[in-house]
Each structure stands twice: as C-alpha cells, then as structure tokens.
Amino acid sequence: MKILIGWEDTEQVDLMTMYLGAGDNDITIATSKEHFSASLLSIKDLSVVLLSTRFPDLEASFELFKEIRAIRPQTPIVCGCMSEDIYRLARYMMAGMKSYILRDPNGDFLFLLNAMMESVVESVKAEREQKLAEKLREEVESVRKLQETIVPKNIKPPVGYRACARYEPSQVKVLGGQAVTMAGGDYYDLFGLKSNKFVVLVGDASGHGMKACMSVITMHTLVRMLKDDEHLKPSDFVATVNRNLCEQAIVSADGGFITLAYGILNGDTHEFQWCSAGHPSPLIQSMETGEVRNVSDEEVGGMPLGLFEGAEYEQHSFTIPPKSRLLFYTDGLQEAFPDLEVHVEFGIAGISATMKKNVAEPIEKVMAALFDDSNAFTQGNGRHDDTSVVFIERF
C-alpha cells in the first residue's frame, strides 16, 4: 500500500514508521502542512490517507481533508481522533471520511494502524468491484434491449402455414452471486418477400456477450438491406452476406464468425430452398407418423460467415409435405448438458424425443416443451449457451 500520513505528534511518527513500514507498504509521513500538500500532489497510485484531526491544528485539519477530497476523490481517508474530539468527526463523516481510529493516551492504537489501513483499502476495492459489476449489468442490459429490437414481430407465413420462434439467452453469475442475462450471439428472422415467398434464417455468432451480440446486429442490418434482392438464390444471398461481413471488424476480430441457416419457402409450390454456412441442418417431422429426421441425408457443410471472403455455398431444396413441421435451431438447444464427469448432451435424440411425444400439440406448446426439456436435462445448471428455435408447420 502507498500511505500518506499527516500527523502532528512527532513522538509517534517513529512508531508509525516501524508499524506501517513493514512488508510492502510505502509510507510518507508529513509533519508540516506544506510537506503534506506537496506529497498529496506528487505520490502516484496513492492507496489511503491517514489524517489526524489535529494536524496541523483542529481547524486546519478539516481544510486539508477537503483538499484531499478535491485532489484525490477516489482515495479513502482514515482520520485519527482524540476521544475528546470525537464530536468533531460528524463533519468529516458528512464530507466523505471512510473510517476513523481513536487515539488512546498510551498510544496502543498504533498497533492497529496496519490492520486498519489494509481493511479500508480492501473495503474500497470491494465497493469498486461491486460498482463495476453493477455497471456491467447495466451495459449488458442496454445491449440486450438493443438485441430485442431486431427480433421479428407479427410473423406472417404464407397461407397454409404456421410459424413461431423463440430466443432465450444464457445467464452468468457475477459478483454477489446475482445472475446476469447476457446479451448473446443467437439470431433469427422471418419475413415475407414478393411472389408469396417467406424467408427463414437462424444464425449464431461465436462467443458470448456484447461482441457476439453486435456481430448479429451487424448481420441483421446486412440481411435487411439485401432482402428485396429476390433475384439472389439462397446460396448467392449467403455468399453476399459473407463478403460484407468479412469487411466488418466487429465480426472477424479475434477469429470471430457466424454460422447461418438461410432458406426461402415458396408458398405456392411448397418448395424450400436453403443454404447452410456451418449451421446445423433443420429437422423435419411428419405429424402423421411422428418421425423426425434430418432434411438432408448427406452431411451439409459450408464455411461460417466472416472467415473467408471468397467462400462458396451449396444450395439444397426439398418440398415440405402436408402435415409436416420444420425445425431450425441453434446449438444451445442441442448442446445442453448436466454438470457431470461424463459429458452427455441433450442432442438430436433429446430434440426428437420431445417433438415425438408432443406431436399432437400446437407448435407453440412443442416449442415450450423443447426449452423445458432441454433445461431439465441440465439438472439445474441451465443451458450454457444462447438458444434459438424456429418452427414452420404446413397443416
């Protein structure tokens, strides 16, 4: 600790030097007002100030106290006070005194000084961390609210279809054990185009927190700028988005990227053309048999967005049969796991089982069941990643 002391009793100065000078403490003891004021200005990274309420006298001490508060407002001040002067501490308390110690006639208080200084410094450090944690909560909440503005409202699929979607962010514990709902990197969008076409996309930015959130907001802006370019096939559209994202430092910094599944439903022909950029393939379920399967028998790859400007993407297509459900999701659903020695995930098996046992329910209830079941699978630990789910149903 770096300690500045203003003290009028020169006989106690040597003892202070001995008791406080032990260990890593760096102490400066001023016995004159001029020395004290000069030290107050010159000492860097000052940890704490110890000021006698009689230094240099009863009235001048409070003026020095105010000087400390003006020059070093973040530095804690401990006052040394005679028992007969204790009533004078009221104005010091009102002006921001952190703590005080009573000076007994025998000078026994000197044995307590080092512990007192350490306690005050640690207390101030804890308060600052608490304030920083609260500031973090506020910052995260403001970004999370910004993220909520890009979630689509009033989803209107083509005639003969139902659609619903849900996003749930992960949570972390911060100072004080309080949970903070994180701004996340999951993203989904659903919107109509001309010619009775309907766009479905689900994305997931790498990492967590503000960077991931800002990455998907950047992608959302690009998607909405390009959405009227109906001449672009899904593969061309994804390639165009990728080229633009490769120019955005917020996405590519520190090896960041975004996975994306993007598709266009033709409401007249029921054809669904889609493309993957490193994202899990959608699942399709027959509402008559309950069977759940991947929409593609072959492994669908594609490089995630923001890594390579010249990346090319493969387009796939299939027809959505009557009485079928199409599920898009991010890996937060699939990778939900309990905190066990053996790592076991909710997985496709868990997703399929939930969809099968709820096949007779409306898709909104199936959606809720997927979140409930995956969360229950974690045995109270909660999903460690953002989770997004999109359902499209042809009835």
Same domain? 96 vs 171: no
* Residue 6, domain member (yes or no): yes
- Given 127, 142, 162, the domain boundary residue is 127
Domain that residue 58 falls in = 2-127
- Count how many Cα atoms sit within 13 Å of the Cα of residue 265 in the half-sphere of its side chain: 24
Residues 242, 257: Cα–Cα separation, whole Å: 10
DSSP 253: G
* Residue 176, domain member (yes or no): yes
Q: Which residues, 6+ apart, have CB-to-CB distance to 86 below 8 Å?
A: 102
Same domain? 114 vs 262: no
* Residue 138, domain member (yes or no): no
* Residue 115, domain member (yes or no): yes
Tens of pLDDT, residues 316-372: 999 999 999 999 999 999 999 998 778 899 999 999 999 999 999 999 999 999 999
Same domain? 240 vs 363: yes
**pTM of the predicted protein model:** 0.68
Q: What is the pLDDT of residue 175?
A: 43
Same domain? 171 vs 202: yes
Tens of pLDDT, residues 176-194: 455 555 567 899 999 998 8
* Residue 383, domain member (yes or no): yes
* Residue 141, domain member (yes or no): no
Q: Evaluate whether 110 touches 131 at the Cβ level (below 8 Å).
A: no
Tens of pLDDT, residues 295-311: 987 777 799 999 999 99
Q: How many domains does the chain have?
A: 2
